[in-house]
Amino acid sequence: MPEHREPTLGRVTMDSLGGYRLLRTVGVGSRAEVLLAHPVRPDAELEPAVIKLYGPAVSDESIVAEIEALSRAAGDHVVRLLDVASTPEGAPALILSRHAAGSLARLLADRGQLGAGEVITILAPLATALGRMHAAGVAHGSIGPGAVLFDTAGSPALGCFGRAALFAPGLHAAALEAEQSVLADILAFGSLAGALLDGAGAAGFAQRARTEAAPGAWLAAFAESLFDLAEPLPVDLRPRAEVDYVPFPSRAVPAMPPAALAPAAAPARDDLVSRAREALGRVRRPVWAVAGASLVALVIALVAVPQESTTATVRPSESATPVAAPAGPVTADDPVAAALALLETRDRCIRDLSVECLDDVGQRDSSALSADRELLTSVIDGAAAAVVIDADPAQVALVQRLGDSALVSLGPDSEPASVLLVKGEAGWRIRDYLEE
C-alpha cells in the first residue's frame, strides 16, 4: 500500500501544506480530517506534526474559536499549535504537535486497566492543565479517553479542542462555578478520573473524584492529593499481556505547583471572515519562532472578539429567554427520567425531520444542539442516514450531579456513552453527548 494518500474534504485536494508533506490520514470526523505530516525538507527547523483540515460545513467563526482556545490553553500537557496555514482554496488548516503513542482510549482498549503509578502520571498533570485553562477563559468541552494523547515517553496531553468554549479569563471562584462549560469539563474529568482510579484499585478515591469534583481550587488539590496515594510511574504503552498490573502502594511524593498562564487581551475587529482568512493565511512558523505564543494570541485576538451572535462566548444565563415549561419529567428534578424523555423527543424530531423540534432537546447554543441540527440537515439533504440513540432505560444511570448540571450514563453499549444535562427555566436540556 502506498504511503501517501491525498486528503479530500470537498474543498481540499493537495499533497503538501505549510512546508509539510502530507503522508496519510490518521483520523476522519464530521468536522475535520487529521493527517500525519513530515517536513518537506529534512534539514528544515520543523518537526513531524499532524495537520487538521476542516470540512466545508465548519464555519470560520468555529475555526477561529478553536484557534483562540488552543492559544489560551498553551502550556504543559496540552497539544501545541505549531502553525496556522491556508489551503490553496483559502481554507485554514492547523499544524499541531504530534503525539505518536496514541490516545488513552486506545491504551485502555489494549490493556483494560492501568497501574496506580501510571494513573497518577496521567491525572495529576491533566488536572493542573485543566485548572490553568479555566483560569485563562477556555473550557475543553470534550474531555474523555479519546482526548488524552501520549508522546513516545508516555507523557499525556489534552487534544481535540473542536468543542472548546471561550469565556472571560480570570474569573473569581463563584463566577467560574456559574460557567456551564466549566461544569461540563469538571463532570467529565471527574468521571474519567473515577474510571481510571477504580481500575487501579482506589475505589474510595474514585468515588470522591466523581462526587466532589468542582471548578477552581479542587483541581489543584486533587492533583496534589494523588501523590499521597502512590509514586508516579511512566505510562507503559505496551499491550496488556506484556505489562504487570501494580496496585496502589502507600507512598507520599511532593506535588509540583501548577504553572500560571496570562491570556492576551483581545482588541476589537471589523469583519470576522475576511480578516480571519487574511491573518490565518500569512502566519507561518518562521514568525512564531521569533515572537512565540504571545504573537499567536495577538493575531488571533485581532479577529476573534465575538459578535453578539457568536456561540463561543454567549452564556446561557445571559441569552436565554424565559419559557413556560410544560409539566413532565423534563421539568422535574430527576435527571435520569429527563434524559430518557429528551432522547425520546430527539428520536421523534429526527423521524419527523423537524429541525425546530430539536430546540426542545438541546440547550441553546450548545454543541449537542449544533450536532443534532447538523445531522438532521444532512438527513434532509440525503447526505446522511438518520441516527437515533437507542438507550436501554434499565442501564441509564446518574453518574454525577453538580447543582443544575448532571452527567447521565446511557449504558455500556450505547453510542454516545453518556449525556451532559443542564436545567434551566424551560427544564432539562442536553448540553453535550460524551463518548467513552
CATH of the domain at 299: 3.30.200.20
Q: Are residues 226 and 279 in the same domain?
A: no
What is the number of residues in the chain?
436
342 and 425 share one domain: yes
229 with 170, same domain: the answer is: yes
pLDDT for 327 = 65
In a domain, residue 255? The reply is no
Q: Residue 59 and residue 283: Cα distance in Å, rounded?
A: 20
Confirm whether 44 is domain-assigned: yes
- Residue 248 belongs to some domain of the structure: no
Q: How far apart are CA 65 and CA 167, in angstroms?
A: 11
Whole-number pLDDT of residue 265: 33
Confirm whether 53 is domain-assigned.
yes
Q: Which residues contact 173 (CB under 8 A, 6 or more apart)?
A: 215, 216, 217
Q: Are residues 362 and 290 in the same domain?
A: no
The total domain count for the chain is: 3
Give the CATH number for residue 216: 1.10.510.10
Are 108 and 89 part of one and the same domain?
no
Whether residues 160 and 223 share a domain: the answer is yes
Which pLDDT score is estimated for 186? Answer: 94
Domain that holds residue 71: 16-97+265-304
Question: Contact at 8 Å (CB) between 71 and 161?
Answer: no
Quick check: 427 and 338 in contact, CB under 8 A? yes
Give the torsion sign (CA, 372, 377, 380, 384). Answer: negative
**In a shared domain, residues 128 and 207:** yes
User: SS3 for 147?
Assistant: helix
Q: What CATH number corresponds to the domain at position 405?
A: 3.10.450
Quick check: 14 and 87 in contact, CB under 8 A? yes
Same domain for 421 and 352: yes
- Flag whether 206 is in a domain: yes
Residue 191 lies inside a defined structural domain of this protein:
yes
pLDDT per 10-residue tile (average), the chain, 436 residues: 40 67 79 85 75 85 90 94 81 87 90 90 95 95 93 91 93 89 93 93 89 89 90 81 40 30 31 41 33 31 32 34 59 93 91 87 86 83 74 88 83 84 90 78
Residue 118's contacts (CB-CB under 8 Å, 6 or more residues apart) are: 154, 200, 233, 234, 235, 236
Is 260 within a domain?
no
109 and 238, same structural domain? yes
Is 273 found in the same domain as 232? no
Measured CA distances, 337 to 89, 242, 340, 389, 401 (Å) = 48, 44, 5, 15, 14
| Structure letter (DSSP) for residue 306 | P
Question: What pLDDT does 97 receive?
Answer: 93
- The answer as to whether 313 is a domain residue is no
pTM over 0.85: no
Residue 133 and residue 23 share a domain: no
- What is the per-residue pLDDT for 165? 94
For residues 186 and 284, membership in a common domain is answered with no
